[in-house]
Chain A
Amino acid sequence: MTTKLSVTSVKVLDQDEALDFYVNKLGLEKARDVRQGPFRWLTVRFPNDPSVEIFLEEPGPPVHDDATAAQLRELITKGAMSSLVFETDDARGLYETLRTRGVTDFTQEPIDHSYGTDMGIRDPFGNGIRILQPANVRQEH
């Protein structure tokens, strides 16, 4: 029986730019960074949830041939490739923080629902990210 999710991936156009966004904008941390020839196993994770890592996967050799990589890049920039859902303990505070950090690609400003407050952003490449503050999480301030 399978028991848990340990690594998922988001396809990106540039691993360094992705690392900067997910770490310096969203607050994840670098987990692994291993190079093997042209292949770079680069993952990020949440400091308080280190059991799940996100592989920042850049299409290209040796995994993808040039034509496939081009197709993947096309889909990424259409917003049709990868998507993620994160949680936060303060959606509105995060929204302001992200704006301060220069993030402009919001797909949705924070909205209250019965199950919590959510918002939407895109990473620099087009991947959609929903961020939810569950209704039962109290804000710290």
Chain B
Amino acid sequence: MNRRLLRARDAMDRAYAEPLDVRSVAAVAHVSPAHFSRSFRAVFGETPGRYLQRRRVERAMFLLRETDRSVTDICFDVGFSSLGTFSRTFRAIVGEAPSAYRVGNGPLVAPNCFQMAATRPWAAAGAATKSSSSGEAATASVP
């Protein structure tokens, strides 16, 4: 079961830019959406929706650091369908607005696989933290 859940998690990492819903991701693990959400949380410590949000925000942080694309373009690049939801989610996870994050952070000199893991925003349930923490994503995704 873990292996199938991991396959579904990998699918979120791969297809974060697409409009994913629990049903389509659960299908990768061959389980019902409700069972998927429950099992995913038990195995990986957060809901699949939260995991996908962190993946999308990590990619948005990358694009803010490394490109000149507008915040609005980046919002849609990483799979959000509304700028309001993107800004709210980004702020809740990173602790500051996308534009403020861009001002404070330039390109990192590190291989992409390291960046994806090391800069994946991590927040304990209910408590947003700054973007510098690594935590669970590092153990799960490096390299």
Contact = CB atoms under 8 A, between A and B. Distances in A.
A126 B14 contact: no
Contact of A80 (B3, B7, B140, B143): B140
Nearest to B110: A115
A126 B143 contact: no
A122 B9 CA distance: 12
A125 B3 contact: yes
A78 B14 contact: no
Contacts, number: 53
Interface string B1-28: 0110011011001100000000000000
Contacts of B9: 79
> In the complex, which of the residues B6, B44, B139 has the most CB atoms of chain A within 10 Å of its own CB atom?
B6
A77 B3 contact: yes
Contact of A79 (B6, B14, B113): B6
Contact of A120 (B6, B113, B139): B113
Contacts of A130: 113, 143
A88 interface: no
Interface in A52-101: 74, 77-80, 83-85
A128 B14 contact: no
B73 to A, nearest CB: 19
A105 B7 contact: yes
A83 B14 contact: no
Interface of A: 74, 77-80, 83-85, 105-109, 111, 113, 115, 118, 120, 122, 125-126, 128, 130, 132
Interface of B: 2-3, 6-7, 9-10, 13-14, 43-44, 111-113, 139-143
28 contacts: A77-B2, A78-B2, A78-B140, A79-B6, A79-B9, A80-B139, A83-B142, A83-B143, A85-B113, A85-B143, A105-B10, A106-B10, A107-B10, A107-B13, A109-B14, A111-B112, A113-B111, A115-B111, A118-B111, A118-B112, A120-B113, A120-B143, A126-B2, A126-B3, A126-B6, A128-B141, A130-B143, A132-B111
